[in-house]
Chains A and B, each alone.
Chain A
Amino acid sequence: MQTLRLALRNILGAGLRTWLNVIALSFSFFVIIFLQGFYQGMNDQVERATIDGLYGGGQYWQERYDPYDPLTLEDAHALLPQQLQTLVDKSEATPILIHLASIYPGGRFQSVLLKGIDPSQDVVSIPSSLLRPSGGVEGDDGGIPALIGSRMARTTDLKKGDELTVQWRDVHGTFDARDVTIVDVFRTTVQEIDNGQIWIPLSRLQQITGMPGQATMVVVKKNLQSPGTVSGWDFKSLNFLLSDLRMLVRSKTLGASILYVVLLFLAMLAIFDTQVLSIFHRRKEMGTLMALGMTRTRLIGLFTLEGALHGILAAILATLYGLPLLWYVARVGWELPEAIDQVGFALGERLFPVYTPVLVVGTALLVLIVTTIVSYLPTREIAKLKPTDALRGRTS
């Protein structure tokens, strides 16, 4: 306690030198937490949007389905077993049939995934209700209503009301083609339901491909308890489905981590520098303290504590100006530039950073621990210091 009081007295007495260090360190505290909050927010936002848009509470995949091999789609479909059909009937799950198809926007060939979804489902956030019969679009003889996402519309130059020809091979391997009408272009941040995909009513896709009652996957509702095992269908949990996305987010956060390390390094350099300078400039003071009866161990403790106190004062300062700022940014979000759309995952127009107590306290603790270690390293020189040399202002 006494050493703490002395250390506090010393660093407060050092005036501007202390406060410059404290301000620089507090800035590092703030920026590190600020950026980490953004990436935490990005992670949360991407996961939430993807869960809402496609993953729900998990997915049952037909056992031959492999999303990384489009050729498997030809065989990856089956009738819904009773267990899954019951979930669908209770609106706790929705089946999706996926089929390879081709379109020719602007006369150019493009491979797409034709996806069938029940227009009345509310398991995922795709606006499938727009595929309900209206205005004579629905029906065996009329065009097939289709939904596309905004990115798909942009890349194919399609818009609401456009008609386009879709070509596919049915279950017997025969090529077939029909016109579909774009009934709406929906705005989504989830690329997995947007890029290269056309959504049509499930019953129509089953009909035109000759796969009545069949599906490639079944998405279950969020928070559905223990969906259970179904023969011929593999349940993919959210952890499994989100793993790729999380890796992608992690790779995007690498840049921030480098900044994190650079900032921490700069802050620690300032502390290290201050400590080294202190030890060289205050040798006479150390000699005096030894002459007055302070042991070397206590002297090392005093100087280490002085360095560590910079970290504590910085944390207090960062709290004073940082917490209101973090709270404000977390509340109003951060408007994202258009270019951010290209990062490869769902972000939306605004990013809402997330500052959890674990993030804030964890970062603060990490910085304090590193500050203390960095403060201690130069003070080991004191152990070699002879009181007589120190009193003359010399190093031993």
Chain B
Amino acid sequence: MKKRSKGPRPTPAQDVQDEILISTKDLEKIYPLGLTTLKALDRISFSVRRGEFVGLVGPSGSGKTTLLNIIGSLDAPTSGSAEVLGEKIESLSHKEAAKLRNEHIGFIFQTFNLLPVYTVFENVEFPLLLQGIDSSRRTKLVMDALEWVGLADRAESKPAQLSGGQSQRVAIARAIVKKPELVLADEPTANLDAANSHNIMKTMVELNRGLNATFVFATHDEKVITYLRRKITLVDGRIANDEVLKQSARKVRSGRKSRR
């Protein structure tokens, strides 16, 4: 696996924006299903540039989560290729995939997936522990991340003491604490009410801008779709539509005051 630098990004903004972070070509994923098979992804080819805020949209079973898992190196394609941050996902070993996830990719899950015995601070700290970052730097990065999501005052709370919206914000803090280049969110608002869904999405739009992190969502939630700048629609494992949207900036500006 190639060593990726975590240093300052190139200064010419346009170059950075043009950099392709994710690129797939004829990606297929086939699951065995008893005596037959299920084709979850069918010749998926697309690319995502750095800093994009893109959603994989479609009904249940359309292949959104499968595609997101492959991009996140949690799964491997049956055929075709997926290149993420310069790494060929299909040829990564378990260890290399774990390293890629740990250093460069942040995950946000539908059910938050917070570690129940850890405090909010410890949950957010976890990816940094795996990276072996020293204690004082860890503390600073965790508190910064909690500040971004507006939960610095709940650092010592346990996940069970948080509301759904707060839990998802902790999960966002955990995903972005290591300042990843890529954040993958699988149905991040599915377990939240409308107000919390909007707050979460506004937070992510801000982080996308503030950290220049690329966000890829798997969602079929209309509230999320209104914040996307690009929507890739999947139907039966194929890309049915890939369009650029323009409404997210307005949403963020109007929602900034009401987030907390």
Using CB atoms and an 8 Å cutoff, list the residues of chain A in contact with chain B.
2, 5-6, 9-10, 12-14, 284-285, 287-297, 386-388, 391
Q: What separation, in Å, do the CA atoms of A297 and B74 have in the docked complex?
A: 16
**Which A-chain residue is minimally distant from B130 (CB atoms)?**
A293
Supposing A9-B122, A13-B118, A296-B94 touch, asked if A387 and B102 sit within 8 A by C-beta, the answer is: no
Point out the residue from B69, B75, B122, B129 that lies within 8 Å of A2, measured CB to CB. Answer: B129
Supposing A2-B129, A386-B75, A388-B69 touch, asked if A293 and B101 sit within 8 A by C-beta, the answer is: yes
Which residues of the other chain, B, contact A285 by a CB distance below 8 angstroms?
113, 115-116
Q: Is the CB–CB distance between A387 and B75 below 8 Å?
A: yes
Q: What separation, in Å, do the CA atoms of A156 and B193 have in the docked complex?
A: 94
Point out the residue from B69, B98, B103 that lies within 8 Å of A295, measured CB to CB. Answer: B98
Supposing A10-B117, A292-B101 touch, asked if A388 and B75 sit within 8 A by C-beta, the answer is: yes
Q: What separation, in Å, do the CA atoms of A284 and B107 have in the docked complex?
A: 14
Q: What separation, in Å, do the CA atoms of A391 and B171 have in the docked complex?
A: 15
Q: Write 9 A-B pairs (CB below 8 A) sorted by A numbering.
A: A9-B118, A14-B117, A285-B115, A291-B72, A292-B174, A294-B130, A296-B94, A297-B95, A391-B109
Chain B stretch 199-225: residues in CB contact (< 8 A) with chain A: none
Which residues of the other chain, A, contact B130 by a CB distance below 8 angstroms?
2, 292-294
Q: What separation, in Å, do the CA atoms of A386 and B31 have in the docked complex?
A: 13
Q: What separation, in Å, do the CA atoms of A259 and B122 have in the docked complex?
A: 43
Which residues of the other chain, B, contact A387 by a CB distance below 8 angstroms?
69, 74-75
Using CB atoms and an 8 Å cutoff, list the residues of chain B in contact with chain A.
69, 72, 74-75, 94-95, 98-99, 101-103, 107, 109, 111, 113, 115-118, 122, 126-127, 129-132, 174
Expressed in whole angstroms, the minimum distance between the Cβ of A226 and any Cβ of chain B is: 64
Supposing A292-B127, A295-B95 touch, asked if A2 and B132 sit within 8 A by C-beta, the answer is: yes
Q: Is the CB–CB distance between B101 and A288 below 8 Å?
A: no
Supposing A9-B118, A285-B115 touch, asked if A292 and B74 sit within 8 A by C-beta, the answer is: no
Expressed in whole angstroms, the minimum distance between the Cβ of A115 and any Cβ of chain B is: 73
**Which B-chain residue is minimally distant from A297 (CB atoms)?**
B95
Which residues of the other chain, A, contact B94 by a CB distance below 8 angstroms?
295-296
Which residues of the other chain, A, contact B95 by a CB distance below 8 angstroms?
295, 297
Residue of A10, A288, A296, A386 most packed against chain B (CB within 10 A):
A288
**Which A-chain residue is minimally distant from B158 (CB atoms)?**
A13
Supposing A284-B113, A285-B115 touch, asked if A6 and B129 sit within 8 A by C-beta, the answer is: yes
Residue of A284, A288, A293, A387 most packed against chain B (CB within 10 A):
A293
Q: What separation, in Å, do the CA atoms of A14 and B118 have in the docked complex?
A: 10
Supposing A9-B122, A284-B113, A388-B69 touch, asked if A293 and B103 sit within 8 A by C-beta, the answer is: yes
Which residues of the other chain, B, contact A295 by a CB distance below 8 angstroms?
94-95, 98
Q: What separation, in Å, do the CA atoms of A12 and B158 have in the docked complex?
A: 14
**Which B-chain residue is minimally distant from A13 (CB atoms)?**
B117
**Which A-chain residue is minimally distant from B99 (CB atoms)?**
A293
Q: Is the CB–CB distance between A291 and B117 below 8 Å?
A: no
Point out the residue from B98, B102, B113, B127 that lies within 8 Å of A391, measured CB to CB. Answer: B113
Supposing A391-B109, A391-B113 touch, asked if A292 and B75 sit within 8 A by C-beta, the answer is: no
Q: Is the CB–CB distance between B74 and A388 below 8 Å?
A: yes
Query: Apart from A293-B99, A293-B130, A294-B130, what 12 extra A-B contacts exist at CB < 8 Å?
Result: A2-B129, A9-B118, A284-B111, A289-B126, A290-B74, A290-B98, A291-B74, A291-B107, A292-B107, A292-B127, A293-B102, A293-B131
Expressed in whole angstroms, the minimum distance between the Cβ of B93 and any Cβ of chain A is: 10
Expressed in whole angstroms, the minimum distance between the Cβ of A381 and any Cβ of chain B is: 15
Which residues of the other chain, B, contact A14 by a CB distance below 8 angstroms?
117
Q: What separation, in Å, do the CA atoms of A324 and B129 have in the docked complex?
A: 40
**Which A-chain residue is minimally distant from B94 (CB atoms)?**
A296
Expressed in whole angstroms, the minimum distance between the Cβ of A42 and any Cβ of chain B is: 46
Expressed in whole angstroms, the minimum distance between the Cβ of A43 and any Cβ of chain B is: 47
Q: What separation, in Å, do the CA atoms of A10 and B75 have in the docked complex?
A: 27
Point out the residue from A9, A293, A297, A391 that lies within 8 Å of B117, measured CB to CB. Answer: A9
User: Ordered nearest first, which 8 A-B pairs have the shortest CB separation?
Assistant: A293-B102, A13-B117, A288-B113, A387-B74, A295-B98, A293-B101, A291-B107, A388-B75
Q: What separation, in Å, do the CA atoms of A38 and B259 have in the docked complex?
A: 69
Q: What separation, in Å, do the CA atoms of A9 and B174 have in the docked complex?
A: 18
Which residues of the other chain, A, contact B103 by a CB distance below 8 angstroms?
293
Q: Is the CB–CB distance between B109 and A293 below 8 Å?
A: no
**Which B-chain residue is minimally distant from A14 (CB atoms)?**
B117
Q: What separation, in Å, do the CA atoms of A290 and B99 have in the docked complex?
A: 10
**Which A-chain residue is minimally distant from B98 (CB atoms)?**
A295
**Which A-chain residue is minimally distant from B65 (CB atoms)?**
A388
Which residues of the other chain, B, contact A294 by a CB distance below 8 angstroms?
98, 102, 130
Point out the residue from B69, B98, B122 that lies within 8 Å of A293, measured CB to CB. Answer: B98
